[in-house]
Amino acid sequence: MNILLLLKNEGLKLIKKTRAWLGPILIFILIMVAFPLTVELTSNNLSDAFYPVLFISILLVMMLATEGIFLEDYDDGTLELFLISKNSLSQWVFLKIFMHWLLIGVPISLLGAFFNLGANNDLSSSIMLFPALLIATYIFLILFCFGNSLSLTKGSALGTLITLPLTLPILVILGKLNTAIIFNINYFEFLILIFGVLSIIIFAFPAIISRIIKTHLE
Amino acid sequence: MESSYLIEANNLAYKINEVRLFTNFSFNLKAGEALHIRGSNGSGKSTLIRILCGITPSSKGKVNKKDELVCSYLGHKNALKTYLSVRDNISLLGLSDHESLESLLSLLDLSEKLDVIVANLSFGQQKKVALLRIFLTGADLILLDEPFVGLDSNSHDLLCKFLEKKLHAGSGLIYTSHIPTGISSKDISLD
């Protein structure tokens, strides 16, 4: 099965399950819209608190987006067929995560930059924030997929608990990036740092996840 | 392994939770031959098929397959996406443009169901869609685990005819079934 067909299949499966991609996006919008309503309009702290809320809501939404990401294919026997067909399982995992990022991570990154414009009224910070959000959403997706693969037959809560500590360093870097954007210092250094993290796990984790899934199938 | 064999199993054994399902199980299968695995419930038929497919590792022994052997497998799970239509499920395997698709859809009485969501089909119809995908995949070795369960008599006969045709064409067949098939096969029992 060629890469384009696999990508098309994953896209078709995700698009037809509206709840799987639209649900996380709507929850993200809900959090971002509800946040300013809970802070007094006269508060000067609204823009200060915006970035932490944005990053944490992205973390939570990515966790939701990956819930049961491999379970359906495991339960209905698709993974068994895939294994027999001698296609690369790690390639399939890579493409599945990529498609989830394309349909969930990219819109959320765009919305995040848009909400930043609303909260801070600053176009340049939104432009700086957008690539960071694109990278962060991909990293969170990969990490939560790893957790989901570990707890494939045991429910997603266990996998999330295992994975959550791995996301903390990324949140710390995002916090530093927040300061870098506000004061316009060392922005590219932090951006390169999270891009470096992504460039390592983007290929390493699909291989690890595929090995874990194979173990579950056995 | 002798070059004429599609698949050869040597001294296979499988043990789970200290319970031995089968031991020292050996066989070979040439092109055009069928193997019927018999056994009571829980004797390890499905596990044996999964071992032969390469999904589950055996506890002991070895399975040798001919180089570049293309296998197709249908187990207890149909590998169908129940929220997609029959057409979409066929296209997931890249079989939408297969030359035999129309005729097989008509034979299996599925022509009118192409745009129906799989969840709205009966168990037997879902099984037919899963079998259709097996029919369209040009495999050298077909492994089927209880393929006749849920099929009406017409579909049962059609499946038997198809499998016999594939055997004449040089494919191999390994299957489990509690329902008599009429396919001339080597028989092995796990009891």
The CA R_g of chain B, rounded to the nearest whole Å, is 17
Identity at A202, one-letter amino acid code: I
Instruction: List CB contacts (< 8 A) between B16 and chain A.
Output: none
Contact status of A1 with chain B (Cβ, < 8 Å) = yes
Closest partner CB to A77 (pick from B72, B78, B84): B78
Dist CA A103 CA A54 (whole Å): 19
Pairing mode, strands B60-65 and B5-16: antiparallel
* Cα–Cα separations (whole angstroms), residue A47 to A61, A183, B46: 21, 14, 60
> Are B172 and B142 in contact, with CB atoms under 8 Å apart?
yes
Domain that holds residue A60: 3-36+45-217
Cα B111 to chain centroid, rounded:
23
Dist CA A214 CA A52 (whole Å): 37
Side-chain half-sphere exposure of A84, counting CA atoms within 13 A: 26
Contacts of B184 (CB under 8 A, 6+ apart): B34
Q: Count how many domains chain A has.
A: 1
Cβ of A218 within 8 Å of Cβ of B57? The answer is: yes
Q: At what angle do helices A187-217 and A123-150 cross, to 10 degrees?
A: 20
- Site of tokens 């497998």: B73
* pLDDT over 60 at B1, yes or no: no
Q: What is the 3-state secondary structure (H, E, C) of chain B?
A: CCCCEEEEEEEEEEEECCEEEEEEEEEEEECCCEEEEECCCCCCHHHHHHHHHCCCCCCEEEEEECCCCCEEEECCCCCCCCCCEHHHHHHCCCCCCCCCHHHHHHHCCCHHHCCCEHHHCCHHHHHHHHHHHHHHCCCCEEEEECCCCCCCHHHHHHHHHHHHHHHHCCCEEEEECCCCCCCCCEEEECC
Cα A24 to chain centroid, rounded:
10
Contact status of A3 with chain B (Cβ, < 8 Å) = no
DSSP A152: T
Cβ of B79 within 8 Å of Cβ of A76? The answer is: yes
> Are B129 and B59 in contact, with CB atoms under 8 Å apart?
no
Dist CA B110 CA B44 (whole Å): 33
* Pick from B65, B74, B75: nearest CA to B30: B65
pLDDT for the residue numbered A43 = 62
Dist CA B70 CA B72 (whole Å): 7
Q: A164-177 as b/e, with b when 16 or more CB fall inside 10 Å?
A: eebbeebbebbeeb
Q: What is the pLDDT of residues B29-68, one digit of tens each?
A: 888 888 898 888 888 888 889 998 888 888 888 888 888 8
pLDDT for the residue numbered B15 = 86
pLDDT per 10-residue tile (average), chain A, 218 residues: 85 89 94 84 72 92 90 89 85 93 95 89 88 95 92 80 89 89 86 92 94 90
Comparing alpha-carbon positions, the chain A residue that sits nearest to B55 is A218
pLDDT for the residue numbered A1 = 65
If one counts every other C-beta atom within 10 angstroms of the C-beta of residue A211, the result is: 13
Q: A96-110 as b/e, with b when 16 or more CB fall inside 10 Å?
A: bbbbbbbbbbebbbe
* pLDDT over 90 at B177, yes or no: no
pLDDT for the residue numbered A28 = 95
* Pick from B65, B70, B80: nearest CA to B137: B70
pLDDT for the residue numbered A41 = 62
Instruction: List CB contacts (< 8 A) between B75 and chain A.
Output: 77, 80
pLDDT for the residue numbered B167 = 86
Contact status of A218 with chain B (Cβ, < 8 Å) = yes
**ipTM at complex level:** 0.82
pLDDT for the residue numbered A42 = 64
Predicted TM-score of the model (pTM): 0.87
* pLDDT over 90 at B179, yes or no: no
Contact status of A216 with chain B (Cβ, < 8 Å) = no
If one counts every other C-beta atom within 10 angstroms of the C-beta of residue B141, the result is: 22
Contact status of A48 with chain B (Cβ, < 8 Å) = no
Contact status of A4 with chain B (Cβ, < 8 Å) = no
Contacts of A10 (CB under 8 A, 6+ apart): A95, A96, A99
Closest partner CB to A81 (pick from B57, B79, B83): B79
* Cα–Cα separations (whole angstroms), residue B30 to A14, B159, B190: 42, 21, 21
Contact status of A78 with chain B (Cβ, < 8 Å) = yes
Closest partner CB to A16 (pick from B54, B57, B83): B83
